[in-house]
Amino acid sequence: MKILVDIRDNKADFVMELLNSLSFVKAHRITDEKAQLLEEIKEAVENVKLVKQGKQKAKTLNELLNEF
């Protein structure tokens, strides 16, 4: 299982040391940008699931292009 945890900067070293002391845990630091990208991808996947279930309307290509 993979989890993403948001930790305050002043506690990050402590939490990383704690996690790395556990033999069954692999902990890696990621940048804020990568964390944001992962959240955006997760949100996009959820939106696709909702569209496939008919619970959300898909955007047209023009709507997507207008967002940029």
Structure tokens at 57: 């309307």
Residue 51, C-beta contacts closer than 8 angstroms, at least 6 positions apart? 57, 58
Please report the pLDDT score of residue 48 as a whole number.
Answer: 92
The length of the chain is 68
Q: How far apart are CA 63 and CA 47, in angstroms?
A: 15
Token pair 């047209």 in the structure block, residue: 60
Is residue 20 within 8 A of residue 27, CB to CB? The reply is: yes
Segment 4-63, tens digit of pLDDT: 888 999 999 999 999 999 999 999 999 989 989 999 999 999 999 999 999 999 888 898
Q: Which two tokens stand for residue 49?
A: 């699931």
pLDDT at 67: 82
Say whether pTM exceeds 0.85.
no
